[in-house]
């Protein structure tokens, strides 16, 4: 898979262009959908699975490869109810035992094979621009990945996951993923 090159130590606009609800055949926008659009940045090299079920308030999690993680990594866990739990930072790990200990216990049940991954920095809110219209590329959502976003170093591969969450429907209406790698500015200009 090809990865977009993003310049190191430069703020980068992240765009979700012309999102549409394919099921209802309409352009997704904040006004009619009372929605939020945001993105999070993840480290694709630290994306594992639970090897044993967890429940509220477990802080010790069994994972497929604890050795890829580091103390201080911020962890998210997919729960059985379809939500994502912010488990806080890893405070200790035991690679031989396949466990990590996090600061915030699970909010509810998570079955074996649920995703456990490292989030880099916090969630970034995106703003709508243009007028929502089906088939138009002149509208969408934009947010800035700041130059000082945590965890971004040269040659770091990242996944930027954009979520458009509608209300009152209360579910995920759209999702987009941008795969990128952080490069020195001169490398980005050559691309």
CATH number, residue 173? 2.60.40.10
In the listed set 113, 134, 155, which residue is the last one of a domain according to the structure?
113
Q: Tell me: do 40 and 55 sit in the same domain.
A: no
SS (H, E, C) 59-119: CEEEECCHHHCCCCCEEEEECCCCCEEEEEEEEEEECCCCEEEECCCCCCCECCCCEEEEE
Residue with tokens 């795969």, as numbered in its chain:
179
Q: Which pLDDT belongs to residue 191? A: 44
In the listed set 113, 129, 160, which residue is the last one of a domain according to the structure?
113
- The domain of 164 spans 1-45+121-191
> Do 97 and 66 form a contact (C-beta atoms < 8 A)?
yes
Query: 12-36, pLDDT tens digit by residue?
Result: 999 999 988 777 788 888 877 778 8
Q: How far apart are CA 173 and CA 161, in angstroms?
A: 13
Q: Tell me: do 41 and 134 sit in the same domain.
A: yes
Query: 53-71, pLDDT tens digit by residue?
Result: 999 999 999 999 999 999 9
Q: Tell me: do 13 and 70 sit in the same domain.
A: no
Q: Which stretches of the chain score pLDDT less than 70?
A: 1, 167-172, 189-191
pTM of the predicted protein model? 0.91
Q: Tell me: do 130 and 185 sit in the same domain.
A: yes
Q: What are phi and psi of 32, to 5 degrees?
A: -80, -25
């Amino acid at each position: 898979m090809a990865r977009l090159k993003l310049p190191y130590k430069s703020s980068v606009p992240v765009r979700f262009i012309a999102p549409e609800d394919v099921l209802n055949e309409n352009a997704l926008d904040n006004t009619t959908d009372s929605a939020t659009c945001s993105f999070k940045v993840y480290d694709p090299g630290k994306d594992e699975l639970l090897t044993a079920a967890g429940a509220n308030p477990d802080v010790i999690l069994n994972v497929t490869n604890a050795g890829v993680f580091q103390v201080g990594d911020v962890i998210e866990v997919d729960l059985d109810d379809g939500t994502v739990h912010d488990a806080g930072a890893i405070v200790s790990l035991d690679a031989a035992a396949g466990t990590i200990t996090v600061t915030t216990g699970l909010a509810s049940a998570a079955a074996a094979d649920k995703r456990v991954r490292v989030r880099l920095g916090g969630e970034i809110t995106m703003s709508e621009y243009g007028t929502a219209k089906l088939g138009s590329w002149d509208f969408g959502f934009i947010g800035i990945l700041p130059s000082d976003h945590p965890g971004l170093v040269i040659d770091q591969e990242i996944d930027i996951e954009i979520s458009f969450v509608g209300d009152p429907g209360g579910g995920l209406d759209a999702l987009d993923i941008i795969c990128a790698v952080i490069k020195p500015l001169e490398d980005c200009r050559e691309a």
